[in-house]
Chain A
């Protein structure tokens, strides 16, 4: 089990992400904005972060730049509803920031595999 901070502005998407991570066996703290994520990073000290990219206010890119400044080694998975070819510039940018990009829609097994690539393992089945 790992402590995972997850950031998603959409309420339904937030529920889905929380349940998926919990079913994978992780301890999840869900927040609905990037600014709230920055506040909770210090006190909750997650072992990984999963964040949406396109969000109102501070978006995933700004959040990652802030996170990278203080937590350069925190494993991060960015999720986006973007799609092949159409959102390549954004995916390239995220890769340059050293984060994995998971394109929605994805299966729980895809998130499990992405977390495993970050060396985050869980007790749950994918």
Chain B
């Protein structure tokens, strides 16, 4: 099991707006679900069924309002992002670690291209050599030496390994994905 801090879902729910929308939707889901049972089960055409339907309609309107709020927040966040989002090639053969990092990096404002092997990364680099940074997990750290020899421009980042691979910056494996993502975003956005 992954440490709570490294999980992709932790990266998302630590964001206060996402957490608010997530928790509000959970409570609203309970209210909508049980009121829909009432609306179905109360006698047809009864006043009580009418009340239940009105409650349900109000809750559905709340759902729409939350959806609008979330869409507005997403739009504001996109507008606040720089025109050029730093591009990160993320090489992680361990899918869970890669997914957690990718979600956290996207949430931090980076454009992420995940790939699952050094070989795949080498092919991507042949076709698209311009990246702001390349991050490799320990098992895929050979890509950093390849970069050093063939593509010296991107910042070389290592996650979860000892720095024997010419990384510019190394992060320990226990470091939460969201924290790593914030540091990488700060580095690249202000570089």
Contact = CB atoms under 8 A, between A and B. Distances in A.
Interface of A: 10, 12-13, 16, 19-20, 23, 35, 53-62, 65, 80-90, 93, 103-108
A10 B30 CA distance: 11
Given A19-B37, A84-B74, A104-B29, A54 B2 contact: no
Given A20-B33, A62-B96, A65-B95, A86 B26 contact: no
A85 B71 contact: yes
Contacts, number: 117
Given A56-B4, A59-B7, A105-B28, A82 B22 contact: yes
A82 B17 CA distance: 10
Nearest to A34: B1
A56 to B, nearest CB: 7
A61 B29 contact: no
A50 to B, nearest CB: 13
- The interface residues of chain B, by DSSP majority, are classed as helix
Interface residues of B, number: 43
Contacts of A104: 25-26, 28-29
A84 to B, nearest CB: 5
Interface in B11-31: 12-13, 17-18, 21-26, 28-31
A56 B1 CA distance: 11
A104 B77 CA distance: 22
Given A61-B8, A61-B9, A89 B102 contact: yes
Contact of B67 (A10, A59, A84, A107): A84
B36 A107 contact: yes
Given A89-B107, A105-B25, A83 B67 contact: yes
Given A61-B99, A86-B73, A81 B25 contact: yes
